[in-house]
Amino acid sequence: MDKPADVAAANQEYYRAFEAGDMDAMSDVWEHSDRVVCTHPGWSTLRGWGPVAASYATLFQNGQHLQFVLTEERVTLHGDAAWVSLDENLLGDQGGVTVATLNVFARTDGRWCMVCHHGSAVAATIGPD
């Protein structure tokens, strides 16, 4: 559990759970604590597992079907913490959106859990494309 591949696997599980609308799996991805933070694109920040869990439950209940094509994924380990920078390219109902994303994981008792998720839509007018 000290290899970037372990963090990458935890990160992949986040997107698998999201695409499947699987609340139990999403619950397993996240650390259940007051210190977790989550900022969905355009949202204000949710702090603590309760509000974070509620946000996913709402998204999943709304039947929002999203598919993620992940690009530019970079995993960095630093001791018992890790960050993953990537672009979420969203297909589906909100097709064509790219979300710049930072996911942070913390290792506790040998297990990597998500502690931060921050996504923000990339404005079409910015960047070389």
Residues near its own copies (CB under 8 A) are 35, 37, 39, 41-45, 47, 72, 74, 76, 78-81, 83, 85, 87, 98, 100, 102, 104, 106, 115-116, 118-123, 126-127
CA distances from 35 to 39, 57, 80, 105 (A): 13, 19, 15, 12
Closer residue to its own copies (CB): 4 or 20: 4
The pair of structure tokens assigned to 52 is 């974070």
Closer residue to its own copies (CB): 16 or 47: 47
Closer residue to its own copies (CB): 20 or 94: 94
CB of 51 to its own copies, least distance (A): 12
CB of 98 to its own copies, least distance (A): 7
CB of 20 to its own copies, least distance (A): 25
Closer residue to its own copies (CB): 27 or 89: 89
**DSSP label at 128?**
-
CB of 124 to its own copies, least distance (A): 10
Q: Which residue type does 7 have?
A: V
- String of DSSP letters for 4-34: HHHHHHHHHHHHHHHHHT-HHHHHHHB--ST
CA distances from 104 to 53, 70, 123, 127 (A): 16, 16, 23, 24
